[in-house]
Amino acid sequence: MHTITVVKDFNKKPYGRYPEDGDGCGQYFREKVLAPDLRKYGKVHVVLDGYNRYGRSFLDEAFGGLIRYEGFTYEDLKSRLTYTHSLVKSIELVIDDRLEAARKACE
Amino acid sequence: MKKSNPEREFFRRRAGVARWLNELSRKGFSYTGRKKSGVSKGAGWEVIVAPAIISIYGFGKKNKHYDETVKFLEDIKRRFLKKDCFVDFSSTSSITAAALVVVYAALDEARIKRTGNAEVIWSKKNQRVNAILRANNIHKLIRGVKFSYALDSVKSMPVISSVGSEMMEEIIDFIQKRIYVDMSPTTEHIYGDAVSETINNVRLHAYPEASPADKKWWLMCSVVGKQLYLAIYDTGVGIPKTVVERPWFLRAVELTHPEKYSDLVAEYPEREKSWLLALVPTKISDEDLIYLSMQGDVSGTKEDKHGQGSKSILALVNDTEDGVLWVFSNSGLYKFNQSDKKPELYRLPKSFPGTLVQWNIELP
């Protein structure tokens, strides 16, 4: 399994949705890190530890965007993508919610 | 003969000497009866008078605080620095935190590209008002003095002006380290999410025509007793004007206001969707439009990925006991009490300039 640690492999303080929001935006994380790794490796685990202030927009654009823009299906992601934040479980719940919302939007 | 107390005699003599020395030092001066303010009241200086109570909470038949405060803001917008002027707080006896950030923003915006001089006239009613004005740099803003501050070196947070996500981390750091003794990672996430989504909404929606550098927001964070007051303000077009552009909006109106939606369609059966959207404000009040924006996508289609900010904004009061959320925008006010979980909607007597999101949070 390939592991991505957001604060080490992408940005120490991820923020926002689009490039206008800065280099740590959700779109860049999805396009430059998450989607390429999902295409390269069978299983990917995202470690969100090290930063507790993730905004809903960042999480939606990064994870929900995999279904909306990158061509992944909800079922595929459920079998190959995992994510954890050891201290803030609600961050994992937001990602669950945004993946579900993206599935509804695209079905 | 009454025997005098030696100690009392000493003080009596010393007071006499002080009076004599003062008399000598003032020889040749005339007594005016009033201490000069140190401000030269040049001819032609305008006076912008602040109301007795600067507050945006009180409105209705008995209470005119909101009306008077909005009039003060309009005066600032129209007159501040157009000519040399005084901003006169001499009759002000009270200023609320939320109104303070709005006044700060009005002065901050009005001073751009204006060349007049300005001076502050301090409150004669309440020294606490003067302390609040000083602590938030209002006097420097009025005088046009450049100032800077670092949040890691201040005891209380002054009003902050910023764009984009600049200062966001410092603000959360301040709340985490200075206000909370021991903030849990979950609480930190709730604050980070609410603040980041609110300022993100400013960039995305509040100023449709402005360049990124002009999409300003102002923030105040104040603690009174066990209550934290946090407010983020922008002077943009307002929620009622932007919510109608969301892809889910008409469907949400149909679901939440079926009668009004039917009226609209019946009245204009041939009109296209864009026409109906333009006509919605004639049927639905600003407070209802704010309410709709706080619901986000209620149509169930989940078409609009941008309708998420309201969930983060509400989460900050949902997870704190006795939390209250206020959203002032244009002619509407949305108030949400965590205790009864029921939103209250009000029509404001005068249009509010921009949008203010304020949380009242009870600290642990």
For B75-100, the pLDDT digits (tens) are: 999 999 888 999 999 999 999 999 99
| Chain A CB contacts of B203 below 8 Å | 20-21
Cβ pair A87:B193 closer than 8 A: no
Cβ pair A87:B164 closer than 8 A: no
B90, B155: one domain: no
CB contacts < 8 A, A to B, total 76
Provide the pLDDT for residue B272.
65
Closest Cβ–Cβ partner in A21, A56, A91 for B164:
A21
Q: Which residue of A has its CA nearest to B183?
A: A52
The domain boundary residue, chosen from B90, B114, B147: B147
Structure confidence by residue, pLDDT tens digits, B252-294: 777 777 777 777 777 766 666 666 677 777 778 899 889 888 8
Helical pair B249-256 and B286-295, crossing angle rounded to 10 deg: 110
Closest CA–CA distance from residue A95 to any residue of chain B (Å): 12
| Chain A CB contacts of B303 below 8 Å | 105
Look up the ipTM and state it: 0.94
- Domain contains B37: no
On the 0-12 / 13-18 / 19+ scale of CB atoms within 10 A, B79 is: middle
How far is residue B117 from each of residues B40, B47, B92, measured CA to CA in Å?
11, 12, 22
The domain boundary residue, chosen from B147, B173, B202: B147
Structure confidence by residue, pLDDT tens digits, A5-64: 999 999 999 999 999 999 999 999 999 999 999 999 999 999 999 999 999 999 999 999
User: Which candidate in A18, A57, A84, A100 is best for mutational testing of the B interface (most B CBs within 10 A)?
Assistant: A57
Closest Cβ–Cβ partner in B172, B197, B302 for A57:
B197
B303–A contact, CB cutoff 8 A = yes
Residue range(s) defining the domain that contains residue B241: 148-364
Structure confidence by residue, pLDDT tens digits, B140-184: 999 998 888 788 878 889 999 999 888 999 999 999 999 998 899
Task: Report the range of poorest mean pLDDT among B133-137, B208-212, B244-248.
Answer: B244-248
| Chain A CB contacts of B201 below 8 Å | none
B217, B356: one domain: yes
B224, B329: one domain: yes
Cβ pair B302:A68 closer than 8 A: no
What value does the mean pLDDT of chain A take? 96
B308, B164: one domain: yes
Domain ranges across chain A: 2-106
Cβ pair A20:B200 closer than 8 A: no
Number of domains comprising chain B? 2
Cβ pair A13:B169 closer than 8 A: yes
The domain boundary residue, chosen from B147, B173, B191: B147
In this structure, are residues B323 and B360 in contact, taking their beta carbons and an 8 Å threshold? yes
How many CB atoms lie under 10 A from the CB of residue B263? 13
Query: Is residue B320 very low, low, confident or very high in pLDDT (cuts 50, 70, 90)?
Result: confident
Instruction: Report the predicted TM-score, pTM, of the whole model to 2 decimal places.
Output: 0.84
CATH code for position B348: 3.30.565.10
- Domain contains B294: yes
Q: Which residue of A has its CA nearest to B311?
A: A56
One-letter amino acid of A16 = G
